[in-house]
């Protein structure tokens, strides 16, 4: 008979282990509360275009085939598998970031995540069949990969690279923001030295290169074309039309150029959305297939003809986009294209989709945004204050470095989306929750007792 006696697990460890499981179960449920309440994943005006990629077999503007394949994978589960992936990915990246900032106790992680779900767009993004949830998460994943890559396991680094590549492949604007952050890190390295390791930057650039390969491969698999997702020129043209630049160009040049839009120059719609997605002359002239060349020609030559106007319009659009942060744009009961795609290709889901609260106009985003918008704008102000305090002290600690990264991400997102597509609340809401997350990290570090030790590599700003 053996005399060995198993060593009992200390009570404190048992409580911590149980608390960690509570976090792992509760946080995903909180993130998916809007979908559970809706009784079906939330849909958005653009969702149908992604769903159709598997079935239609050709490329359409601004609809990533990578994200289309991801949605197709979840179809048998009525897309609940997709929402589960989104909730678990959000939990993983949030807790990983918190852990690296010394916020490790399950209670603090739970409270931080609960505050995000109550005061930001995060649970609405996680509950929706749209690329937007991956935009903000990718910024955090890239930050960890570059700045803290040596502090996580090899498996975590590999998963972070894979996640970043996938997120960047789901939307060109997300890829643009991430590429901008990598370039900013490269430029800042002479100033910050070891705070931005070369190996980390290499991992970041490698992930973005993998995203390009992933997107090209998906496009080829579904359409037989080795091509980038189309549509950038048309979207930029729409923004110029909205600013009045296209009308001015047509008035100045229709006497000498035979352009398809010349007969319509006095009847152009007021907004890009009305032109591209409404019942406009764009449909009559063949939509993107019939108008891509002309829209590209006008957009390129209008840049050369009116540089100051273009610069002023770009700055205005960027500034406006920074303040467009309301939750729920395009997520109401009127999304006919998405309904039509589900009815055409997924008839078995029509009853569940039609029974959902969203399709009965039961979501009151006006009330929700009475909380979300002030929190978003206040968080951005506090983010600037955190960064300003670091500059005043001339020392960039890890929280300040994250704050600077999020500031650049918000600015880059506003510039790319505002200048190319025009300001929309959807583009702001998908990123601005990051500002609230940084503020919560700073509060935890200021008032918590589980702080991360000061890094010896934190640089004094000269």
- Are 28 and 114 spatial neighbours (Cβ–Cβ below 8 Å)? no
Q: Give the pLDDT score at 292.
A: 87
Evaluate if residue 452 carries a pLDDT over 80: no
What is the tens place of the pLDDT at every residue in 270-315? 888 888 888 899 999 998 888 888 999 999 999 999 999 999 999 9
Q: How far is CA 94 from CA 100, 116, 234, 298, 423, in A?
A: 10, 10, 36, 44, 28
Tokens of 288: 């993107």
The structure's pTM equals 0.90
Evaluate if residue 130 carries a pLDDT over 80: yes
Evaluate if residue 334 carries a pLDDT over 90: no
Please list the residues that pair with 396 across neighbouring strands.
459
Please state whether 39 falls in left (phi above 0), alpha (psi between -120 and 50) or beta. left
User: What percent of the chain is modeled with pLDDT above 90?
Assistant: 76
Band of the pLDDT at 17, cuts 50, 70, 90? Answer: low
Evaluate if residue 5 carries a pLDDT over 70: no
Q: Give the pLDDT score at 458.
A: 53
Evaluate if residue 6 carries a pLDDT over 80: no
What is the tens place of the pLDDT at every residue in 74-98? 999 999 999 999 999 999 999 999 9
443-462 mean pLDDT: 60
49-67 mean pLDDT: 92
Band of the pLDDT at 456, cuts 50, 70, 90? Answer: very low
39-44 mean pLDDT: 97
Q: What are phi and psi of 306, to 5 degrees?
A: -130, 60
Q: Which residues of 79-102 are buried (b: 16+ CB within 10 A; e: fewer)?
A: beebbeebbebbbbbbbbbbbbbb
Q: What is the DSSP string of 340-356?
A: HHHHHH-GGGHHHHHHS
Q: Give the pLDDT score at 84.
A: 97
Burial class (CB in 10 A: 0-12, 13-18, 19+), 234: buried
Q: Which residues contact 158 (CB under 8 A, 6 or more apart)?
A: none
């Amino acid at each position: 008979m053996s005399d060995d006696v198993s060593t009992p697990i200390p009570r404190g460890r048992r409580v911590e282990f149980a608390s960690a499981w509570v976090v792992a179960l509760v946080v995903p449920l909180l993130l998916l509360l809007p979908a559970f309440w809706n009784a079906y994943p939330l849909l958005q005006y653009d969702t149908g275009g992604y769903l159709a990629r598997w079935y239609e077999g050709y490329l359409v503007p601004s609809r990533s085939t990578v994200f289309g394949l991801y949605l197709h994978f979840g179809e048998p589960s009525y897309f609940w598998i997709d929402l589960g992936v989104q909730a678990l990915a959000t939990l993983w990246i949030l807790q990983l970031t918190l852990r690296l900032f010394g916020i490790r106790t399950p209670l603090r992680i739970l409270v931080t995540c609960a505050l995000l779900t109550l005061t930001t767009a995060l649970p609405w993004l996680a509950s929706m069949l749209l690329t937007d949830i991956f935009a903000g998460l990718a910024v955090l994943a890239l930050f960890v990969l570059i700045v803290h890559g040596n502090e996580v396991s090899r498996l975590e680094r590999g998963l972070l690279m894979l996640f970043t590549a996938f997120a960047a492949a789901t939307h060109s604007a997300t890829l643009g923001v991430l590429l901008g952050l990598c370039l900013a890190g490269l430029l800042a390295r002479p100033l910050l030295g070891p705070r931005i390791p070369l190996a980390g930057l290499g991992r970041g650039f490698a992930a973005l290169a993998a995203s390009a390969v992933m997107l090209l491969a998906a496009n080829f698999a579904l359409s037989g074309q080795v091509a980038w997702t189309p549509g950038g020129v048309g979207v930029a043209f729409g923004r110029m039309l909205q600013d009045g630049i296209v009308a001015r160009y047509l008035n100045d040049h229709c006497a000498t150029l035979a352009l398809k839009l010349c007969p319509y120059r006095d009847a152009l719609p007021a907004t890009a959305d009305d032109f591209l997605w409404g019942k406009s002359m764009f449909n009559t002239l063949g939509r993107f297939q019939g108008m891509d060349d002309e829209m590209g020609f006008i957009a390129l030559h209008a840049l050369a003809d009116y540089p100051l106007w273009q610069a002023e319009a770009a700055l205005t659009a960027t500034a406006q986009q920074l303040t467009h942060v309301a939750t729920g744009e395009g997520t109401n009961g009127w999304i006919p294209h998405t309904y039509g795609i589900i009815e055409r290709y997924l008839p078995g889901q029509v009853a569940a989709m039609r029974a959902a609260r969203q399709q009965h106009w039961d979501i009151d985003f006006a009330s929700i945004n009475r909380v979300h918008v002030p929190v978003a704008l206040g968080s951005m102000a506090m983010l600037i204050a955190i960064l300003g305090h670091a500059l005043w002290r001339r020392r960039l600690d890890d929280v300040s470095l994250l704050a600077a990264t999020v500031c650049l991400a918000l600015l880059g997102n506003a510039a790319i989306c505002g200048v190319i597509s025009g300001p929309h609340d959807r583009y702001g809401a998908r990123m601005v929750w990051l500002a609230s997350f940084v503020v919560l990290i700073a509060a935890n570090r200021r008032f918590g007792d589980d702080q991360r030790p000061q890094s010896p590599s934190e640089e004094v700003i000269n």
